[in-house]
């Protein structure tokens, strides 16, 4: 193997790192539909968003024409502490599969948040600090985003209030302690610290919480506290913009060795990783310069792309957030409790939804036991213990590589390895013990979710 010219890990020098983010929307002919005010059904204005989000982030959210945005120097400095992330050649996995395909992966797990989430957390904390804010609020489920934001806030000396879904708070005490190490204030949600939390607890005394409820609490605290704003780790256009650093680095690394991927694969929950990884490649496709196959991989238990509707829907289960046009299962849809990984969001980034709708991207849904089989094979060959979310992409990459084995094609496959699974060992335990099951929503399950999609002229589904 030593005669290979491509190293196991392609690194960039600091001087080679991206200095600008890339905004895919600038190259899209069909722009993603705007966010709507749920009361007026009119596009949300900057003025309406500024009480909730930081000003610069609102600007980024609404800007669909600027292709490149300078990465502020201070963010670049923090990126340098854990970036560039390596673009890896999966030699050992290829060998184990016996495939002629060449497999690459971009590994985003080598930072304490354990995932790519830090890329956007740093940007959002920076803009909050620049605006002179005291702090930010957010929600977290599994805890990756909360950890990333805690880190970013400790760097920029901002207060960080995290509402953590109660069941996760109790089942994942380690995640909570990591956030506390970075100085964050972590509250199990629903809590008695907000009006909405009190109301929910009064109505459902035994509830273990939900992401939708945690969002509502975080938004309430942000809007009612002087000097605070709310921040979000996925779905939004601003997040995809920041995450483009993943794809930009990957492209620079591959270009150094004249490698052109045939297939680019990413897992898809809200779309932050997928949108970031594919960004510069999709840009080439949108501009007609090059063609690539893009594959979004989602859990069969939460199949927004493959079985959802393309419609305006609420982003939260509490139905207080703006309406976004996206592939959605309905804001009331909940994946079965046996679903172990993340990727539980009922909708999908508007930008990615539009690209999928316009045929620029494919999507597949995979079942979780297959996902953990792929995760274990990957761990045993490549060494890295992948997050369940990331393992969806591994599953699809292995499947494509096995197709190449059948056909003899030497395709080049690139996938995003978004993070590590160190805090997901209960799920691995269930897999090892054979107690993990699969779940595919029935048509009835889906119909129930779809029933929650708001009905108004132009939003027929």
Stretch that binds a copy of itself, among 38-46, 179-187, 267-275, 448-456 (CB under 8 A): 179-187
Greatest CA separation found in the chain? 67
Residues paired with residue 324 on neighbouring β-strands, in sequence order: 313
Residue with tokens 């119909």: 447
Least separation in angstroms between residue 190's CB and a copy of itself is 23
225 binds a copy of itself (CB under 8 A): no
What residues have CB less than 8 Å from 67, skipping those under 6 apart?
A: 22, 23, 26, 27, 283
Q: Tell the smallest beta-carbon distance from residue 32 to a copy of itself (Å).
A: 33
Q: How far is the CB of 101 from a copy of itself (least distance, A)?
A: 18
Q: Which stretch binds a copy of itself (CB under 8 A): 3-11, 42-50, 162-170, 314-322?
A: 3-11
Token pair belonging to 394: 């591994």
Which of 171, 287, 429, 437 is the binder for a copy of itself (CB under 8 A)?
429
Q: How far apart are CA 274 and CA 281, in angstroms?
A: 12
Q: Does 8 bind a copy of itself (CB under 8 A)?
A: yes
Residues 15-54 interacting with a copy of itself (rule: CB under 8 A): none
Q: Are 149 and 135 in contact (CB under 8 A)?
A: no
Nearer to a copy of itself, 111 or 210 (CB): 111
Q: Please count the CA atoms within 13 angstroms of the CA of 316 that sit on its side-chain side.
A: 19
- Return the axis-axis angle of helices 272-286 and 350-357, rounded to nearest 10°: 50
Closest CB to a copy of itself among residues 91, 439: 91
CB of residue 66 vs a copy of itself: minimum separation in angstroms? Answer: 24
What is the three-state SS of 430-456?
Answer: HHHHCCCCCCCCCHHHHHHHHCCCCCC
Q: Does 151 bind a copy of itself (CB under 8 A)?
A: yes
Give the tokens for residue 225: 């506290």
Q: Is the dihedral of CA 292, 297, 303, 307 positive or negative?
A: positive
Site for a copy of itself contains 423 (CB under 8 A) = yes
Applying CB under 8 A, the span of 81-89, 161-169, 194-202, 353-361 interacting with a copy of itself comes to 81-89
Looking at 16, 171, 173, 455, which residue binds a copy of itself (CB under 8 A)?
173
Q: From the list 33, 71, 149, 178, which residue makes contact with a copy of itself (rule: CB under 8 A)?
A: 178
Q: Is 420 in the site for a copy of itself (CB under 8 A)?
A: yes
Q: Evaluate the omega torsion of the peptide bond into residue 84 and state whether it is cis, within 30 degrees of 0.
A: yes
Any contact of residue 258 with a copy of itself (CB under 8 A)?
no
Q: Quick one: residue 10, left, alpha or beta (phi over 0 = left, psi -120 to 50 = alpha)? A: beta
Q: Reduced to 3 states, what is the DSSP secondary structure of residue 320?
A: coil
d(CA 70, CA 21): 6
Q: Measured from the CB atom, is 151 or 200 closer to a copy of itself?
A: 151
Q: Does 389 bind a copy of itself (CB under 8 A)?
A: no
Among 76, 185, 207, 448, binds a copy of itself (CB under 8 A): 76
> Of residues 30, 422, 447, 455, which one binds a copy of itself by CB under 8 A?
422
- Asked if 385 touches a copy of itself (CB under 8 A), the answer is yes
The contacts of residue 227 (CB under 8 Å, 6+ apart) are 132, 133, 134, 135
Q: Are 314 and 338 in contact (CB under 8 A)?
A: no
What does the binding site for a copy of itself look like in residue numbers (CB under 8 A)? 1-2, 7-9, 11, 13-14, 73, 76-78, 80-82, 88, 91-92, 110-112, 114, 151, 154-155, 173-174, 177-178, 180-183, 375-376, 379-385, 420, 422-423, 425-426, 428-429, 432
């Amino acid at each position: 193997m030593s005669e290979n010219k491509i190293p196991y890990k392609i690194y960039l020098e600091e001087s080679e790192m991206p200095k600008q983010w890339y905004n895919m929307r600038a190259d899209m002919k069909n722009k993603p539909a705007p966010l709507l005010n749920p009361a007026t059904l009119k596009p949300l204005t900057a003025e309406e968003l500024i009480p909730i989000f930081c000003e610069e982030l609102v600007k980024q959210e609404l800007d669909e024409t600027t292709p490149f945005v300078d990465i502020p120097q201070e963010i670049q400095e923090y990126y340098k502490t854990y970036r560039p992330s390596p673009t890896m050649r999966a030699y050992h996995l290829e060998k184990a599969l016996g495939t002629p395909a060449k497999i690459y992966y971009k590994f985003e797990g080598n930072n304490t948040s354990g995932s790519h989430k830090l890329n956007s957390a740093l940007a959002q904390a920076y803009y909050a600090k620049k605006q002179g804010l005291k702090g930010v609020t957010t929600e977290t489920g599994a805890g990756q985003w909360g950890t990333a934001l805690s880190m970013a806030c400790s760097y920029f000396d901002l207060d960080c209030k995290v509402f953590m879904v109660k069941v996760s708070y109790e089942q994942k005490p380690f995640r909570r302690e990591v956030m506390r190490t970075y100085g964050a204030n972590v509250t199990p949600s629903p809590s008695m610290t907000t009006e909405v939390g009190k109301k929910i607890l009064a109505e459902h005394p035994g509830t273990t919480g939900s992401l939708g409820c945690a969002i509502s609490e975080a938004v309430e605290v942000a809007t009612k506290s002087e000097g605070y704003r709310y921040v979000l780790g996925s779905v939004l256009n601003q997040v995809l913009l920041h995450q483009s650093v993943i794809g930009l680095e990957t492209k620079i690394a591959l270009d150094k060795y004249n490698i052109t991927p045939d297939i680019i694969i990413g897992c898809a929950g809200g779309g932050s990783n997928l949108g970031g990884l594919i960004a510069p490649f999709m840009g080439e496709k949108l501009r007609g310069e090059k063609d690539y196959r893009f594959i979004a991989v989602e859990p069969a238990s939460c199949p927004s792309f493959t079985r959802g509707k393309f419609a305006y829907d609420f982003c939260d289960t509490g139905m207080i957030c703006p309406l976004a046009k996206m592939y959605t299962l309905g804001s009331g849809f909940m994946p079965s409790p046996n679903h172990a990984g993340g990727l539980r969001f009922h909708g999908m980034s508007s930008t990615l939804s539009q690209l999928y709708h316009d045929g620029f991207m494919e999507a597949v849904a995979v079942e979780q036991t297959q996902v953990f089989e792929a995760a274990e094979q990957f761990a045993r060959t490549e060494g890295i213990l992948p997050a369940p979310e990331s393992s969806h992409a591994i599953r699809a990459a292995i499947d494509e590589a096995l197709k190449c084995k059948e056909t003899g094609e030497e395709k080049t496959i690139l996938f995003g390895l978004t993070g590590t699974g160190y805090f997901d060992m209960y799920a691995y335990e269930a897999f090892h013990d054979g107690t993990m099951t699969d779940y595919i929503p029935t048509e009835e399950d889906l119909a129930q979710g779809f029933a929650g999609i708001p009905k108004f002229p132009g939003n027929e589904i």
